[in-house]
Homo-oligomer: A and B are copies of this chain.
């Protein structure tokens, strides 16, 4: 049973940091090689992040979109999964340094992903949680549901209005999807759930700094997405930036006009930066990161001066055919993982590999129950057809057949009933926090952040 014995003792040691789309794809594509593969992650599961907003808004359980890494990889006898946190890399001794140990490598694939970025306003994190982890999703879900609960108990009409105001910062796909789902929860799912408030009175405001939402999409799809959101009752504010926030209000600036919005729930879908490991990599290997913290790699996805150190996914700065950096999307990471695996297999056979080319099949985002926009380059789709395609593509890429089935059933169910049965507020001692409203300053001042919330 000692699986280690199944590994070729003389195989190359390939270490992969991160079990997201990039890292997992690399690991899977290194199956059936003589290499000894070690995949390190801080979590024991792979997460299908594109659907995380549905966990945040109570449509799905975290378990539906997460797969234990050990279960995904347990048939690959040459692959070991290690739950651990990487804090450093020692290129001279060829070791990855964990908080509690060291791992030897011959080749290293760094795919540690990204997290939220508050543009220098780090204190905003306690007011406006982002959406990268299961814990983030639970936090968002809790704040949204809490706001309605607190409004139901509140007598002051001003405060009720503030509790029923939800601001989503950032008009990219995540922000658009969150805002659409929030509008549906308020107008449909919870329509009959309260006795003192009308959840349909909720104001959902999507704030985007650029002049249109989904700015990486063609203009007409942006416009269609905005139309769909507005039909759901979302207030879309473009050319509008957040300048200040606290637990009771948000200050936004549109042109010259500054305005305070009383609001107790802010969801962050704006800035993204790379994992802290990118700083370590930049220092150790003397490379310069771009503004988003990404590490430049060459056409073979390794560091210019180190051909056994690969960086892929959200952490990598790679240029597309048009000379622009590739976006931080699942398909990019997945293709890069597969590419590096192929390159390493070729190397083992003494062959070289051509440069990485991203095959861009397009972008898509959903807006609520049956609307989506899809930019498939030659074809631009919106509305119901866009949504069906969105649905199909996402189902296809979820890891694990069981998860696919569970997600499909819950989507079908929610579609028919307009219900969302996963809207549980998890955590201890929640009831006592209701009346004061959740986002109390003292709740969040502790370090590490959020810990008391989940």
A100 within 8 A of B: yes
Report B-chain residues with C-beta under 8 Å of the C-beta of A450.
428
Query: Does A195 contact B134, Cβ atoms closer than 8 Å?
Result: no
Q: Does A44 contact B (CB under 8 A)?
A: yes
User: What residue of chain B has the Cβ atom nearest to residue A45's Cβ?
Assistant: B424
Contact (Cβ within 8 A) B4 A195? yes
Report Cα–Cα, A203/B406, bound state, in Å: 33
Contact (Cβ within 8 A) A432 B195: no
B contact residues around A200 at 8 Å (CB): 1
A1 to chain B, nearest CB (A): 4
CA distance A134 to B7 in the complex (A): 40
Do A42 and B454 contact each other (CB < 8 Å), given the known contacts A61-B63, A193-B70, A406-B406? no
**B residues less than 8 Å from A431 (CB atoms):** 41-43, 83-85, 99
Interface-side segment among A105-113, A331-339, A356-364, A397-405: A397-405
Given A43-B431, A193-B74, A405–B400 Cβ distance below 8 Å? no
Residues of chain B within 8 A (CB-CB) of A101 are 153, 435
> What's the minimum C-beta distance from A234 to chain B, rounded to whole angstroms?
19
Task: Give bound CA distance, A80 to B409, whole Å.
Answer: 30
Interface residues on A, range: 35 or more
Q: How far is the CB of A48 from chain B (nearest CB, A)?
A: 12
Is A236 in contact with chain B by the CB < 8 A criterion? no
- A423-B68 in contact (CB<8A): yes
Interface flags for A227-247 (1: CB within 8 Å of B; 0: not) read 000000000000000000000
Task: Tell me if A11 counts as interface (CB < 8 A to partner B).
Answer: no
Residue A353 lies at the interface, judged by CB distance under 8 Å to chain B: no
**What are the residues of chain B within 8 A of A321 when measuring CB–CB?**
none
CA distance A257 to B410 in the complex (A): 54
Residue A158 is within 8 A (CB to CB) of chain B in the complex: no
Scan residues 413-454 of chain A and give those whose CB is less than 8 A from a CB of chain B. Answer: 413, 417, 419, 421-432, 434-436, 448, 450-452, 454
Nearest chain B CB to A92's CB is how many angstroms away?
24
> CB of A67 within 8 A of chain B?
yes
| B402 near A419: Cβ-Cβ < 8 Å | yes
Contact A70 B409, beta carbon cutoff 8 Å: no
CB<8 Å pairs between A and B, sample of 6: A1-B198, A44-B149, A45-B425, A70-B193, A100-B436, A451-B451
Query: Can you name 16 extra interface pairs (CB under 8 A) apart from A4-B196, A70-B190?
Result: A7-B195, A43-B431, A45-B425, A61-B63, A62-B426, A63-B422, A71-B423, A82-B152, A83-B153, A84-B434, A100-B435, A101-B435, A135-B427, A402-B409, A402-B417, A403-B421
A residues neighboring B (CB under 8 Å) = 1-4, 6-7, 41-45, 60-64, 66-68, 70-71, 74-75, 80-85, 99-101, 133-135, 138, 145, 149, 152-153, 190-198, 200, 400, 402-403, 405-406, 409-410, 413, 417, 419, 421-432, 434-436, 448, 450-452, 454
The 10 closest A-B pairs by CB, nearest first: A100-B435, A61-B61, A61-B63, A3-B195, A1-B198, A70-B193, A42-B431, A63-B422, A85-B431, A74-B192
